[in-house]
């Protein structure tokens, strides 16, 4: 098997990253992740990490230097070797992104991490050039966006990339979140991985909302008006928060400037949190469709070439969808009213946010009071932070939890119903549908999961990842 020849060539630092799988080993795991940046040698033979099976997966040990092979040679020469001997970033990258071992059974749902990373880079690059030509003032914002599209060379392409990227980024993020819910990626030892992912989602949503306001069209202005008034309805501190957001008694220059800075700064803070999120993946290890931890070398494969090539296929398919939407159906992702300059004296017939905020807008409108709606919308996100402690079942994957699988599909349906209700302003029958969908959503997480996780009859788990694929 490929693993055997791989281990025979480098029975040392190459395998170091795979031995950090269990919660009891976290202190060692953190040390193992940071060690490539602290060690002063590029030789892979400098460390040895033999493995042994345990209840949670692989364990790790660091033997004495005398046990290492004296015949080991540095794998890099020339400039790369010179740099790596002084700052071993090359060997660290190889250990964490080339030789790093991941479960062999990851499916297409695991492509969205790479897709999100690529789109984030595209958004940052296009956003920087757009910011160079944007004017964050009441009088100049809309005109500067028009100038970017009509006068700046290639400006239409930059803005199309940025807008399409924003929509597909949120779509990929929601699918990434669903994968975590379905396969139980929030369970031990991956609680911090789940929590950092949720923090990222909140940051991305805040960045997307700020970006939606910057063109300062009709929907931008009236969307800002709805949100600021909802924040102002918070008892006690609401008026103060509203004044902090607007900066004055009306939406204008100060408001736009503050949200432009917020949009720009949050984008780069997201990059930092992404780094923490990726580090958490490498410390706790990736989950897999069975939810069973790797126990033997046969359960894992190196990230390169297996998952590099798999991610490339996913990225190519995503790029095709991206290009089709950007060039052929751009109006699918844009509200026509936002091509009209903001006018405080004229209220649009239908005020609604972008599609990715519609479920929360539906919750906001389904509650009679503004403050209650704000609590419901915020609570729908905050409840996810408690999920690792609400679901106490030892089984991770919904593949082996029939009742929870049906319940989670109901959550997806409730999410869609709330989005439709938000689009129809939660009136008439849509108001009843939104309230029922909201009750089901919160009931699943706060009542159903805690009760069912104690009493459900799960399907038998495979003995190992390899056994689940018929390679026992």
What residues are labeled active site?
A: 282, 286, 310-311, 354
Phi/psi at 301 (nearest 5 deg)? -135, 155
The 10 Å CB-count burial string (b at 16+, else e) for 164-174 is bbbbbbbbbbb
Residues shown for the chain:
472
Place of tokens 């020469």: 77
CA 349, CA 337: separation in Å to the nearest integer?
Answer: 10
Q: How far from 44 is each of 3, 9, 446, CA to CA, in Å?
A: 17, 10, 49
On the question of a cis peptide bond just before residue 305, with omega within 30 degrees of 0, the verdict is yes
CA 163, CA 342: separation in Å to the nearest integer?
Answer: 19
Q: Where are the beta strands (DSSP E) in 91-242?
A: 101-103
Place of tokens 């992740």: 33
Coil, helix or strand at residue 440: helix
Place of tokens 């309230």: 435
CA 452, CA 226: separation in Å to the nearest integer?
Answer: 39
Place of tokens 């918070």: 234
CA 281, CA 257: separation in Å to the nearest integer?
Answer: 36
Q: With contact defined as beta carbons under 8 Å apart, do 266 and 258 qualify? A: no
Q: With contact defined as beta carbons under 8 Å apart, do 3 and 35 qualify? A: no
Q: Give the pairing of strands 101-103 and 300-302.
A: antiparallel
Query: Of 376, 386, 380, 377, nearest to 450 (Cα)?
Result: 386
Host H or E run for residue 218: helix 218-232
């Amino acid at each position: 098997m490929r693993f055997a020849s791989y281990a025979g060539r480098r029975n040392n630092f190459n395998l170091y990253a795979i031995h950090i799988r269990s919660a009891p080993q976290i202190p060692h795991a953190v040390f193992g992740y940071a060690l490539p940046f602290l060690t002063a040698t590029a030789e892979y033979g400098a460390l040895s990490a033999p493995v042994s099976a345990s209840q949670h997966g692989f364990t790790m040990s660091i033997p004495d230097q005398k046990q290492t092979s004296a015949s080991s040679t540095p794998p890099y020469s020339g400039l790369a070797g010179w740099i790596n001997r002084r700052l071993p970033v090359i060997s660290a990258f190889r250990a964490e992104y080339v030789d790093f071992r991941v479960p062999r059974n990851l499916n297409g749902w695991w492509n969205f991490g790479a897709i999100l990373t690529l789109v984030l880079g595209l958004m940052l690059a296009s956003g920087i050039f757009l910011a160079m030509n944007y004017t964050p003032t009441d009088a100049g914002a809309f005109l500067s966006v028009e100038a970017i599209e009509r006068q700046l060379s290639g400006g239409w392409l930059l803005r199309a990339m940025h807008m399409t990227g924003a929509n597909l980024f949120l779509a990929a993020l929601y699918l990434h979140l669903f994968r975590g819910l379905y396969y139980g990626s929030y369970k031990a030892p991956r609680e911090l991985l789940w929590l950092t992912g949720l923090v990222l989602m909140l940051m991305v949503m805040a960045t997307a909302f700020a970006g939606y306001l910057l063109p300062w069209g009709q929907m931008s202005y009236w969307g800002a008006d709805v949100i600021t008034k909802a924040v102002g309805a918070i008892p006690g501190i609401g008026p103060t928060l509203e004044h902090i957001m607007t900066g004055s008694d009306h939406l204008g220059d100060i408001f736009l400037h503050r949200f432009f800075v917020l949009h720009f700064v949050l984008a780069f803070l997201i990059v930092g949190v992404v780094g923490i999120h990726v580090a958490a993946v490498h410390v706790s290890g990736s989950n897999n469709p069975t939810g069973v931890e790797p126990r033997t070398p046969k359960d894992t494969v190196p990230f390169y070439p297996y998952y590099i090539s798999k991610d490339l296929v996913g990225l190519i398919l995503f790029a095709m969808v991206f290009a089709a939407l950007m060039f052929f159906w751009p109006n699918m992702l844009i509200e026509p009213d936002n091509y009209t300059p903001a006018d405080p004296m004229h209220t649009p017939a239908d005020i609604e946010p972008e599609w990715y905020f519609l479920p929360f807008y539906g919750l906001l409108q389904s509650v009679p009071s503004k403050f209650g709606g704000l609590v419901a919308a915020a609570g729908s996100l905050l409840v996810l932070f408690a999920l690792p402690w609400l679901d106490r079942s030892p089984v991770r994957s919904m593949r082996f939890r029939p009742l929870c699988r049906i319940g989670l599909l109901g959550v997806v349906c409730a999410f869609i119903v709330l989005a439709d209700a938000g689009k129809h302003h939660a009136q008439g029958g849509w108001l009843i549908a939104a309230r029922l969908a909201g009750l089901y959503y919160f009931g699943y997480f706060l009542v159903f999961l805690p009760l069912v996780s104690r009493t459900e009859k799960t399907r038998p788990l495979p003995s190992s990842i390899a056994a689940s694929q018929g390679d026992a």
